[in-house]
Structure 1
Amino acid sequence: MESFRKLIKGWLGIVLLVLFLIPLALVGIEGYFSGSNKGDVAKKVNGQDISNKELDELVKSYQQQYLQYVQGDESLLNTDVIRESALNTLIARTLLLQQAGKLGIQMSDTQFVQMLSQLPDFQVNGKFSNEVFGNYLRSRGITKEALLANLKQDHALKMLTATASSYALTSKQGVENFVNLQSEQREIYLSSIKLDEYKKGITVSNQDIANYYEKHKNEFRRSASLDVDYVVVKPSMFAQTMPITDAELQQAYTQYVDAQKNNATKEVRHILITKDTRTDADALKLVNDVEAKIKAGLSFADAAKQYSEDPTSKAKGGLIAGYQVGTLGSTEFDDAVKLLKDNTVSAPVKTNFGYHIIDVKTDAVKIASFEQEKPQLQASLEKSKLANAYTDAVNGLNDAAVSADALDVITQQVKTATIQSAKNATLWTSNPYLSQPAVKAKLFNNEVKNGDRNISASITLANGETLWLKVRNYYPEGLQTLAQATDAIKTTVLNKKAAAVATAKIATTLEAFKTEPATQVLARSNIKFEKPALFSRQNLRKDIANVAFTQPVPKAGMWSVGTADLSDELVIVAVSKVDRDAFSKLTPEQVQQATKAYQQLRGEQELADYIDYLKSVAKIK
């Protein structure tokens, strides 16, 4: 998550990303059907254009990947940094393809035909079908030539990247060092010294604060924040019962019956006559002939098996398994199914695929009686009426509050509602109301940034509640002033001075650990350590791990000791034993897996270095 946060809004967002190589790999044949029209140029790489259309599509793909890490909250994504990452990826891809061309890495037409014939999407009964292939290309709006060019590019890219990344040189010693470093464990003793008692008598001057500010300005860069007041209104604050009339119940029952009938499962069969190998007139003549034979007594299923050119449904008597609206990607087909009565064969229906004859059977529907359904209808109507009454109440409150530009108008009318406040709220706030995307969109929009301090219109929350807000102060992203940072600096400097005093007090003991066995030092020291435990880097908080895993390996009976300053306490970190022998405990299979992982890591480094080299000699503008 730490590396991911660099993609998020805030001053950290300016940090450059590590190049994403995922789009350099084959992403499946569907990836080629996004069209080839280019917009204006985003970048030129050695004279070759990267269009803004290509860039926008990759940015959208990245955003979809990153949204899962922020629970779909798009306001937390830094679009500028994501766009920069996507552009770097497209530049790298372009450079690699250009290099592949220079090196003569390409797929022959024979290889292309062989690969294409092996793709299951284009096969019928295990064999390549020109008809299926043609239908597929037409439905995706791409020509065979464009597909050939894309596949050849992908092949060249895979060959070049594999050469750079899959054959990185490794050694047994390198793999051993890699495993031992990743798996290293250390036996660690910890002792905590609280700093409160050392703060007595320590003063922090204005000069101390100013000096610290000048030396550590980057620590005081802040994300945008604001002070805000808000009111939340809940449906439970209003009347909870609504009378339901008999007429309303009867109307609701009629709607229920209609819905049951409309939602009944349909068994849809069709016969497809394509225009792949014939003219439109010939296709229409053939489909009319088939329709006539069905009317003359030929069963629809037999006609489908004999005449249909849809390889998927042909053998099933034309049955389109699991048909739903949109299954065939044709509105003409779906409209015909909707209008067709049961046990009636349609007239020929024209779509992009050709001509269809359609047969529909609707499953029998079991409809509950009025008395059986009445309790559910009653509850549904009550819920709907309450929702409508709540909506009307919210609309009235909204008009009054916006007109007066005041939150207390709401609390005067809804006695159980209260005005709440938050100070220095950021995009990363954990406040259960202010953290909702719809609310953050109102808090951090351009109008607020430009000085708008009016009450917001009502905001509907995810749980159905309603919120109004009024921003009081807005603090833009950037460097805090000395005045704004003074309180935090004073606390920090005080803690550091106290830590220095505490460190000086135990300096003699810490020095003794360097030359004497730990038991002797402990025997005359008042420092009490917790029971030791075996830790890996991942099991310790970062600041303690940085101390523990940079200490030298101690000799037998000795400890390597350092200190970690955790602001309000000083932690003594003692390493008594280091286990760096993980490699010798691996099975042959695990060694093979570790070797593969190390080679992959080295390969990624090699490929990244290769791309950096290509960038260094390229003309990019």
Structure 2
Amino acid sequence: MLQSIREKSGSKIAYLILSLLMAAFMFFGIQGYFVASGDTGVAKVGKVEISSSDYRQRMNEQVQRMRTMMGDSFNSDFFSTPQYKRQVVDQIVDEELMTQAGAAAGVAVSDARLRDEIVKLDAFQIDGKFNPSQYSAVLQSNGLTVESFEQRMRRDLAVRELPSQVEATVMVTDTEVDAFVRLRDQTRSFRYATLTPAIVMADQVSDVDAKDYFQKHASKFTTKEQASLEYVELNAATLIVPPADEAALRDRYEQQKSSRYGSGDQRLVSHILVSVAPGADANAQKAALKKADELLAKIRGGASFESVAREASDDVGSKDSGGDLGWIEKTGAFEPSFEDALFGLAVGAVSDPVRTDQGYHLINVRESRAASFRPFEEVRAELESEYVTTEREHLFGEKFNDLVEEAFGSPGSLEPTAKALEAQVQKTELFDRDFGGGIAVYPKVREAAFSDPVLTERNNSEAIEIGENHVVVVRLLEHKPAAPRKFEDVIAEVKAMLASEPATSCRRQDLAGVGAREQSALRVDRTDSSERR
């Protein structure tokens, strides 16, 4: 494919891919992900800026995923390394690059495709079937809204579609295949040098050098400010409500049967309207009725209903389609006189003039369709799930008022709030301003933890919304300010930093002076060749 792009660099798709690849190398501000700052973004792809909040959210998601997978063996130090942070930024940049390429190529994911993919996910299913309540609960527990999740999934699906669409549209000729094989199987001759232990050992970092660097840059080696919280949680998805009443479920089914679970008797209808103006006198009404009778006689005399409607109907919305009104069910959408006459006609019949507020109608029934509904037993689980959701929302509203009242009325303790909600006061582990576990995975919670009302004044927080119908109130449990770390604890880290410095002057001098000073240690072994694989 690369050879194809090379030889067809004038094509639109080549310019698209190349321009987006170049855009990926123009991002800036990478240093912003190492420390918190006032910068609004950590990277930029084309005109799209990757915000620091996007980066932190992605880091939190990955940390939480690994914490869940690894359990007690989880080590958060790995996620604090510059290499891992750079890896996360690169991942986000790659995704944005593919997203832009997909958008430019016109790759789109329909609502139907998105819905089909979501209902297939096991996490949202109960007993093998998609469950709306389970869907909402899983998203809430992971700090996601329905909108944000579906937006991300739509983007990911589009990204997955792009390679297959590119492959499907690129034609590869035999000549191009031959050129690719030649490129793949070509060889290179090269010379290489071996750094012997004499040079490698000279390049190691001593304890003295490490300590000197540590003392000069002590501000780099401090612990992060940390806090832990106690909190009371109110989540509609976990509230216990009374079981659904069977009679209430059946009433709900009857009320919604026609609109949700099938349809009643239907007729495929056409009509002709002879309009009568509001407030028209008796003479005008008689004239309209006479016209309707004449049109009816014309139809019964052999003229097609459709042609008469196109010619004479006053209903501008249907006359051009021969008076077609589509399928109609007896729901009260039309005036009673119209519906009664309509459902009293046999298929193929044309009614006598029917009076409504609009005027006189001639009605033609073209087809009939019998009622068809899904049985109550088939939709009972769905109705019950909706009942539980509705009841939980009502109960959540009541308990939310209690939570706000008690948390504000007793700002120095969460016990009254927990008692009013019949809940437990829970606790978090220590976390910093950027990352945390449990409820501290949510940026709003971390922000509240280090705010003046909670951290300085030691009051309860306001109710913090962390999901749909899901809130917490927090208060400070423990606070650990940032503190200097001991050299003994960071010596390995300091040495690693110094050893990885590519611009160390002594290294440059050693390598530059190899020909003059280190001929005994550095030698050119041989000339060799290698195939490109």
Q: Which has the higher contact order (CA 8 A, sep 6+)?
A: 1
Structure 1 length normalisation: TM-score?
Answer: 0.33
Structure 2 length normalisation: TM-score?
Answer: 0.38
